[in-house]
Amino acid sequence: MRRLVLRTMVSLPILLAPTDRVGAATAAGPEEARAPVAVRAPLSAGVLRAMARKRVSADAAVADYWTADRMEAADHVPGGRPDAGRRLPPVRAVDQKTSTGRITSRTVGKVFFRSSASGRDYSCSAAAVSSPSRNLISTAGHCVYNRDGGWHQNWVFVPFFDRGRRPYGIWRATWLAAFTGWVGRTEPGLDVAFVKVAAADGGSLVDAVGGNGIRVGASSRTRRLTILGYPFLPPYPGDRQFSCQGVTVPAGRRLRMACPLTTGASGGPWLEDFDAATGRGYIGGVTTNTDLANTSLWSPDFDDGVWALYRYADRL
């Protein structure tokens, strides 16, 4: 089944009362694995101390944490491991017609967060999503949760981050939502997340940068998509957007597309019907893996489970 989310939407009532944790943390079967789980976006002890000492808001304390130097030093995200150790199907000629370039969108940005396990700072990619709240973004599951370290801390989204510039500000996460099957078992086909961000100066994220639609139920066929993100490893600098345009190939419960973008592009959107003039399209996937040779990217299948996770996260 194919569903579309239009960029202009009518507000829906909030159905879930916020708590510190919503949903199950573990799962036994395939249906339970696709159940959503969410937490209030964690803050590090240092940020909490700064809030108490300086008597400032969480937004201000997190913004102070993410200095220009800290963002520049942020490493790529742990997880999103290359698909090694299995034989891949040969890439057909049609799949090789991929163009790489500098197509950009202000709806796409760089994500920064702190690992609760190592205390190190990391980065990912993400995109603003049209939704009733107008404050939702899509990314990869490993960009919000790592099995070795738990939920990431001090999580922020910087739309159209460009060589240190932050033209649309810093948007602090308030909720992180993922699949139980990712949090409990890091299942590759469930490496998807949605993040709710706090409004800034009374305005929404979508008001500031625009939003992309969500398209699910179309993964069983080949599609021409545009992938955007912030690849980190050479030859890419990690501080600018890069793109691939090509044709997807169904790969089990995932999608694959020939694309040389490297680690750091994780969480970036796979956009169908992308309009370069507006910088918007319909998100039908997110980057989760690359191969060891950096020739292909993978995305989970965007199906009804992703649609349900999207709706769940927006109501938090």
| pLDDT given at position 99 | 65
Mean pLDDT for back-to-back runs of 10 residues, the chain (316 residues)? 36 28 52 93 98 97 97 73 39 48 92 93 97 98 92 98 96 98 93 96 94 85 90 90 93 90 95 95 95 89 95 98
Residue 9 confidence (pLDDT):
30
For residue 78, the model assigns a pLDDT of 55
Note the pLDDT of residue 98: 57
Q: What per-residue confidence (pLDDT) applies to 85?
A: 34
Q: Report pLDDT for 23.
A: 57
For the stretch 201-207, contacts whose Cβ atoms lie closer than 8 Å and that sit 24 or more positions apart, written own/partner, are: 204/133, 204/134, 204/135, 205/128, 205/134, 205/135, 205/136, 205/137, 205/157, 205/159, 205/171, 206/128, 206/129, 206/130, 206/131, 206/134, 206/135, 207/134
At 75 the pLDDT is 76
* pLDDT score for 223: 85
**Structure tokens given for 249:** 């190939």
